[in-house]
Structure 1
Amino acid sequence: MLSSRLPVPNALDRLPFRHYDYSKVMGNCCENVIGYMPVPVGVAGPLLMDGAQFHVPMATTEGCLVASTNRGCRTLCLSGGCSSRVLSDGMTRGPVVRLASACRAAEVKAWLETTDGFCGMKDAFDQTSRFARLEKLHVGLAGRNLYIRFQSQTGDAMGMNMLSKGTEQALQSLQQQYPDVEVLSVSGNYCTDKKPAAINWILGRGKAAVCEATIPARVVREVLKTSTAALVDLNINKNLVGSVMAGSIGGFNAHAANIVAAIYIACGQDPAQTVGSSNCITQMEASGPGGEDLYISCTMPSIELGTVGGGTNLPPQQACLQMLGVQGSSPGHPGENARQLARVVCGAVLAGELSLMAALAAGHLVKSHMTHNRSKANLSETPAQS
């Protein structure tokens, strides 16, 4: 017998729905709309990066997160800032197709890996967009299945729809060359989107970025309240060895996902893509005279984001993108706004890593969360609930 769970009376009374421009939501961002969810937005910064200052919007309900990231930004400002580079730029889509046999699949794989095969796929793919231009094919085989990973730049868009459209056209071209190719799905999880995957960690997806800084010993002591030696030791044993012990894929950091998710929600990105976008390795080394200065870097190979399309069309999210100077499409330089946003994400992650690792090294984490991350409502809880 089926049971139904009746809604609590007046449950939605506190969900706001008035005074919101739903015209930008319908058919674009959400269906069956009953209201909107306000999330507090804090600002961290200024983040001094590449000689420019950025005030970073962060939408979160986790106390201490903005304050901690802000302390990291202050640390960087007092140290002369950080430097960043975008290493690569290419969204991916990985369909799965099936042949009659593994040997036949191997023949198709071999053709796709020739110059003629790639050019054939590229000609079909490139016809579907003003921006998308097929750059790479990576082909995997499992039995009689082929997994074909298409990679292309996508201008300032995050680009999944663009990639899907081009991939579908390229697969139709492949079927003209090999009529026995059966397309099982335009996505075969070989992309990989919104799931932990070594392929994104190794080959990258979206924007790959790196950010680095050197923190003078005095700033480490006075602002971070710890020492370079303690931070380097903790980074090795927590972020590197500890993550290996846990069998982590791309999780060689303290809390990159915290910063990525907060910026994504504020700036209209797909929050589920925090899964791949928070892939990050944080490295720390002693540097300078006597090895008392701290060198830190964050390398992030799969930052999936855009500054046009989807949630970036909503006015509040556009306001946050405007704070960073990256709203919309970059005139004259397609893709530059999205790449700048990726650099900001990487720089903010660096700031967040600095502050949290320092709090852990100094033993301040629990105290700060008990002070700033406990609602007054909790004071009425019984000891068993605390």
Structure 2
Amino acid sequence: MPKLNLHRPDHTSSLSSDLDSSLRNEALQPHFEPPTTKLTKSPYLTEKNVQRRWATLDNDDAQQHLLDEHTQQHMLTYAKNIEHFIGTVKMPVGMAGPLRVNGLFAKQDFLVPLATTEAALVASYNRGSQLLTAAGGASAMLLNEGVTRTPAFAFFDLSQAGQFVAWVVTQYATFKSIAEQTTSHGKLTDISVSIEGNHVYLVFEFLTGDASGQNMVTIATNAVLEYILQHTPVEPEHAFLDGNLSGDKKANAQTLRSVRGKKVTAEAHIPAALIEKYLHTTPEKMMQFAQITTVGGALSGTIGINAHYANALAALYIACGQDAACVAESAVGMTRLEVDKNGDLYASVTLPNLMVGTVGGGTGLPSQKACLDLMGLHGNGKSQALAEVAAALCLAGELSIVGAFCAGHFSRAHHKLARK
């Protein structure tokens, strides 16, 4: 394939310059003088520790913004969520909706809070939500649940690995009992084994109730790991709590056919007249866009096919106290846009990796709880509904952004809203 070679800065060219070599070498040398500033030794959140940190930082203007009066009044509520606390960051929060969700668990019209600094984002999700609602809403179905942790063991040879596996498969009931003693909500539902040469990976899958469950499964699996290391008939050369097979906080392909977190699919049949009214384009044009961008995604090596799940999930996760780093895995999924037999648009999304919870983590912090409360989705028994809302929100965003590209409005919307 021919390539157009455009001039671009190449900082490595300076490596060939003798003139710069002494300066470069000096800049890259380790420096061992003591640091000029230090944090408190204690990472814990106490009023005295916060005062000491700001005394070290010595920046009144920054302190005024990060440690305002409201933050000072509520700062002890953050004690289980942060170390070396100095204050809070204020994020603008907008509302998108109404978004009608016809789900197994979410069964109403939602106004969805989204925290972002990206202009045009909330407007786009708002438009997509209104389109779906006008079409009768998004049908959403929670398909599966499960959170994994994957301890890994290295042995001298395959024979030892085989001996270890032969013992492990007799211990499942014991592992389950040990794991579930560490949590009142988590349930160990499955254990599978993967062997690669003299390496053995154990895949522990848990149900985590209404919590996202990352910490829960880590603590439970670590208890099992300690038991294994004490009782295994074949001592591994080394072992680790997670061997990176879980896909934790990384985009990965394995969950496209399985689950990590909550797997949800959402769909809608949208009349062509509504596509014209809200998006100013046609179902045929949107299907053509989906086809050409699916090929483009394959050419780029994209895992899954979607336009921008990450936008919806990052904004929702930040607003609602979810672990924002999980967007790396949660934003993997499949979008389909097709013209149905009536000439209308069929649109669907499937997200196998939604890491969401309505208890624990950051969900109980003041602002984040308020955002969940606005949707009626804080507390026990609400996490499945939140997952269905998240999928419907992603569907709204896919429709809106594809419509903008098809109508030639994408750049114009950003120019209008971001540069006003």
TM-score (normalised: structure 2): 0.81
Residue 161 of structure 1 is matched in structure 2 by: 215
Residue 38 of structure 1 is matched in structure 2 by: 90
Contact 2:306 2:335 in 1 (8 A): yes
Q: What is the rounded CA distance, in whole Å, between the counterparts of 2:60 and 2:255 in structure 1? A: 45
Task: Give me the identity figure in percent.
Answer: 36
Contact 2:306 2:333 in 1 (8 A): yes
Matched, 1:367 2:412: yes
CA deviation string 1:82-109 (max 9, x = no partner): 1111111111111112223222113323
Residue 357 of structure 2 is matched in structure 1 by: 306
Q: What is the rounded CA distance, in whole Å, between the counterparts of 1:181 and 1:24 in structure 2? A: 42
Q: What is the rounded CA distance, in whole Å, between the counterparts of 1:174 and 1:126 in structure 2? A: 16
CA deviation string 1:168-201 (max 9, x = no partner): 2222333314351456221221112111222233
Range moving further from structure 2, 210-219 or 304-313: 304-313
Distance 1:8 1:358, change over 3 A: farther
Q: What is the rounded CA distance, in whole Å, between the counterparts of 1:178 and 1:202 in structure 2? A: 35
Contact 1:228 1:294 in 2 (8 A): yes
Residue 379 of structure 1 is matched in structure 2 by: none
For 1:134, give the aligned amino acid.
L
Residue 282 of structure 2 is matched in structure 1 by: 227
Which among 272, 277, 288 is matched to residue 217 of structure 1? 272
Contact 2:256 2:352 in 1 (8 A): yes
CA deviation string 1:310-349 (max 9, x = no partner): 211201100111112111222xxxxxx1111111100000
Contact 1:95 1:188 in 2 (8 A): yes
- Aligned partner of residue 12 in structure 1, secondary structure: helix
Residue 306 of structure 2 is matched in structure 1 by: 253
- Answer 1 or 2: higher relative contact order, Cα 8 Å, separation at least 6: 1
Q: Please list, as runs of the form range in 1=range in 2, the aligned pairs for 1:46-195 lying within 5 A after superposition.
A: 46-50=98-102, 51-112=107-168, 114=169, 116-175=170-229, 176-181=231-236, 184-195=239-250
Q: Please list, as runs of the form range in 1=range in 2, the aligned pairs for 1:270-285 lying within 5 A after superposition.
A: 270-285=323-338
Structure having the higher Rg: 2
CA deviation string 1:66-124 (max 9, x = no partner): 00000001101110111111111111111112223222113323454x4x343332232
Matched, 1:205 2:205: no
CA deviation string 1:255-290 (max 9, x = no partner): 00000000000000111000011112100111142x
TM-superposed deviation, 1:133: 1.6
- Aligned partner of residue 346 in structure 1, secondary structure: helix
Contact 2:151 2:203 in 1 (8 A): yes
Residue 17 of structure 2 is matched in structure 1 by: none
Distance 1:282 1:293, change over 3 A: same
CA deviation string 1:25-79 (max 9, x = no partner): 12x1111122210000000011101151111110000011100000001101110
- Aligned partner of residue 22 in structure 1, secondary structure: helix
Q: Gaps spanning 5+ residues in structure 1: where?
A: 331-336, 377-386
Q: What is the rounded CA distance, in whole Å, between the counterparts of 2:165 and 2:405 in structure 1? A: 49
Contact 1:200 1:276 in 2 (8 A): no
- Aligned partner of residue 296 in structure 1, secondary structure: strand
- Aligned partner of residue 128 in structure 1, secondary structure: coil
- Aligned partner of residue 156 in structure 1, secondary structure: coil
Q: Please list, as runs of the form range in 1=range in 2, the aligned pairs for 1:347-358 lying within 5 A after superposition.
A: 347-358=392-403
Q: What is the rounded CA distance, in whole Å, between the counterparts of 1:373 and 1:110 in structure 2? A: 61
Q: What is the rounded CA distance, in whole Å, between the counterparts of 1:288 and 1:202 in structure 2? A: 28
Range moving further from structure 2, 60-69 or 173-182: 173-182
Q: What is the rounded CA distance, in whole Å, between the counterparts of 1:160 and 1:97 in structure 2? A: 21
Residue 65 of structure 2 is matched in structure 1 by: 15
- Aligned partner of residue 284 in structure 2, secondary structure: helix
Q: What is the rounded CA distance, in whole Å, between the counterparts of 1:178 and 1:325 in structure 2? A: 51
- Aligned partner of residue 310 in structure 1, secondary structure: coil
Contact 2:287 2:337 in 1 (8 A): yes
RMSD: 2.1
- Aligned partner of residue 66 in structure 2, secondary structure: coil
- Aligned partner of residue 209 in structure 1, secondary structure: strand
Q: What is the rounded CA distance, in whole Å, between the counterparts of 1:69 and 1:137 in structure 2? A: 39
Contact 1:120 1:173 in 2 (8 A): no
Contact 1:135 1:151 in 2 (8 A): yes
Q: Gaps spanning 5+ residues in structure 2: where?
A: 1-29, 38-56
Matched, 1:24 2:77: yes
For 1:59, give the aligned amino acid.
A
- The number of aligned residues is 362
Contact 1:100 1:180 in 2 (8 A): no
